[in-house]
Amino acid sequence: MVGQVAIKLEGTTAHVSLGGQPFTSFYAAGANKPYLHPLRTASGKVITRNFPMADVAGETRDHEHHRGLWFTHGDVNGWDFWANEPTQKGVGKGIGKVILAGPVRVKGDTILATFEWVDGQGAKLLRETRTMKFAAGQVIDFDFTLTALAPVKFGDTKEGTFALRLRDELTEKKGTAKLRSSTGGVGMKNVWGKAAPWVDYSGELEGEPVGVTIFDHPGNPRHPTTWHARDYGLFAANIFGTHDFLNDKTKDGSLTLETGKSIRFRYRLAIHGYDAAAAFAAYANTR
């Protein structure tokens, strides 16, 4: 335990509590990609959709690959690591899997794990090292390093990359929430496909004001990121979707890594009641 953060490791699953209350759980194995679910407010309200992990009456059941909070991409050497549930065919060559490649470790307020991104023919494309540092105030700092185990191309597609799926009540389409970007964009039309250092998705949930913000670290590739953020509750940062976001097939947002080369992504996610601009300024100064 570090301060208000307590992490209990049970096999390949880590359960995180803040101030003695459940916050989230990290599932490193058991699905075709690792994910966190559910995410809760300080008062215990769940903000992520339950499907496909559980069936809740009346909840939407679209996009079965929207599994809590996750980090994958829809085109890596033509393999789909995004829409990669076992029942899905994926796009391009088919689905890839993100497989745990060692023990999940806990150091104080941080979870550490290593994964391999494996294509549908069993070839290892990427090694992912990830840390997730938890803090009071419902804050998670994510740090992902992807190292190419073979020449790798991240293809240009909107289907990616650092993402979560919000429950229906906390969306523009079915709830009271609204997307807002740091550049002044309000609503999906003015946020989707646009570049911004951070985006906030806030509304009312069970009578309580609730919001969640994703901050793109200034040291990330192509900062500020573009956003694959939808009115139905998908909330994702994705730097690889240029031709989709601009609706211009002459553009190319792909990125190639030679064998042994790495790319690093850092994000902060916060479930809040605070000034998002001031919070980003503090995050921007972190190393």
193 and 208 Cβ atoms separated by less than 8 Å = no
pLDDT at 274: 65
The mean per-residue pLDDT over the stretch 227-242 comes to 98
CA–CA distance, 222 with 251 (Å, rounded to integer): 15
pLDDT at 255: 98
Q: Which domain holds residue 47?
A: 5-284
The domain total for the chain is: 1
The mean per-residue pLDDT over the stretch 109-138 comes to 97
pLDDT at 287: 75
- Residues in Cβ contact with 9 at an 8 Å cutoff, skipping those fewer than 6 apart: 15, 104, 106
Reference 163, options 236, 220, 227, 214; nearest CA is 236
Instruction: Tell whether the model's pLDDT for residue 275 goes beyond 80.
Output: no
CA–CA distance, 76 with 74 (Å, rounded to integer): 7
Reference 99, options 120, 78, 74; nearest CA is 120
229 and 236 Cβ atoms separated by less than 8 Å = yes
Q: What is the dihedral of CA 64, 143, 240, 33, to 10 degrees?
A: -30
pLDDT tens digits for 132-186? Answer: 999 999 999 999 999 999 999 999 999 999 999 999 999 999 999 999 999 999 9
CATH of residue 150: 2.70.98
- Residues in Cβ contact with 122 at an 8 Å cutoff, skipping those fewer than 6 apart: none
pLDDT tens digits for 182-226? Answer: 999 999 999 999 999 999 999 999 989 999 999 999 999 999 999
pLDDT at 286: 83
Residue for token pair 């208000």: 4
155 and 75 Cβ atoms separated by less than 8 Å = yes
Backbone angles phi, psi at 246, to 5 degrees: -90, -5
pLDDT at 93: 97
pLDDT at 3: 60
Report DSSP letters for 39-96, one per residue. Answer: -B-TT--B-B--TTTS--TT-----TT--SEEEEES-BTTEESSS--TT---STTEE-
